[in-house]
Amino acid sequence: MSWRKNPLPDPHVYTEHAVDVLGHAVDLLDAGRRCVLITSIDIKGGAAREVGSLAVVCESGSMIGYMSNGCIDRDIRLQALALLESDDPAKTLRYGEGSPFFDLKLPCGGSLELLLDARPDPEALHDAHSALLERSATRMDFALPGGNGLASFLYSPKSRLAIAGRGAVFRATVQVAEAAGFETLAYSPDEADLEAVRHVSSLDPAFISNPLAQLALPLDSFSGFLTLFHDHDWEPELLKAALMTDARFIGCLGSRKTHQMRLANLQADGVDTQSLSRLKGPIGLVPSLRNAPSIAVSALAQVIEAFPSSIYCTSGERQGRAA
């Protein structure tokens, strides 16, 4: 068909998390612009994204989010635009094994099934987006064409990482965490360090004035916390505050000897053994690094390992995995 050959404008905005895709969709609908909501509803074999992943194609042809590592996204955009020009409210697409598109291969093998919805429910999108912004998990149900039931997914809020420290490792870790998709919150006693990360940090950086300051950290079960100090006097009150939360990961920079001293000092200060077992240290999958960006990547890799998927399939008949 000729419409599959028409050139498409860019940009293609590569964003990962449901809250970001839904935010764009809500803005488009509020502005009276038409769009197609795309949902990955089934995956067999390997895939660039996980089942339940979202994307939006605007009537202008731009795409927010993605479903592949570049091999089929352009065709998805064309298919979405064709749907907007038709009378059909929705359709499913299949790529890879069992697909009618013989000229479009999935290099990773297997198959990918998508739902394209040209008339997404604005209220449902608003509710889901608001819940995620308020850091509550939210379930979304997607009606399949032809009365073939629902595909249902539970979406978690974006993972938050609070980072306390100073110096080169602190600055590098905030930047790497943002690039990795975390919602970052930076704490430091050094105003120059805070200013250096202000333009990349999701949330406003916070100045801590003295080591004995008692803070209420905004951390939940979708959050992690890192201390990146070489002067470890700043750590005790921050770590005790983190241990009062449901943070999924709490880690500290330093040597093994330093970590043993850290644990002993916290225990002497009244922190119980069960709480101390939550502290990971020294953080980093690669030991004894001497380069700030490398330390940041090593630490973030360990943090990421502690955070499972942010999307969970809740529909019994719709299962899939991302390799």
Please list the pLDDT of the chain residue by residue as tens digits (323 residues): 334 445 555 578 888 899 999 999 999 999 999 999 999 998 887 777 889 999 999 999 999 999 987 668 888 999 999 999 999 999 999 887 655 554 455 555 677 899 999 999 999 999 999 999 999 999 999 999 988 889 999 999 999 999 999 999 999 999 999 999 999 999 999 999 999 999 999 999 999 999 988 889 999 999 999 999 998 999 999 999 999 999 999 999 999 999 999 999 999 999 999 999 999 999 999 988 999 999 999 999 999 999 877 888 776 444 333 32
In a domain, 321, yes or no: no
Give the tokens for residue 45. Answer: 């074999």
Residue 173 and residue 287 share a domain: yes
In a domain, 315, yes or no: no
Residue 84 and residue 39 share a domain: yes
In a domain, 318, yes or no: no
Residues 6 or more apart in contact with residue 132 via CB below 8 angstroms: 18, 19, 22, 138, 155, 157, 158
Residue 122 and residue 166 share a domain: no
Residue 255 and residue 170 share a domain: yes
Residue 148 and residue 7 share a domain: yes
In a domain, 252, yes or no: yes
CATH number of 185's domain: 3.40.50.720
Residue 77 and residue 165 share a domain: no
Alpha-helix runs per DSSP H in 134-198: 167-179, 191-197
Return the pLDDT at 316: 47
| Domain, as residue range, for 196 | 160-305
Residue 300 and residue 225 share a domain: yes
Residue 188 and residue 169 share a domain: yes
Any idea of the CA torsion for 255, 180, 109, 111, to the nearest 10 degrees? Answer: 130
In a domain, 292, yes or no: yes
Residue 6 and residue 150 share a domain: yes
In a domain, 313, yes or no: no
Residue 142 and residue 13 share a domain: yes
Residue 138 and residue 19 share a domain: yes
Return the pLDDT at 217: 96
In a domain, 115, yes or no: yes
In a domain, 312, yes or no: no
Residue 23 and residue 107 share a domain: yes
Q: Other CB atoms closer than 10 Å to residue 139's CB: what's the count? A: 12
- What is the total count of domains within the chain? 2
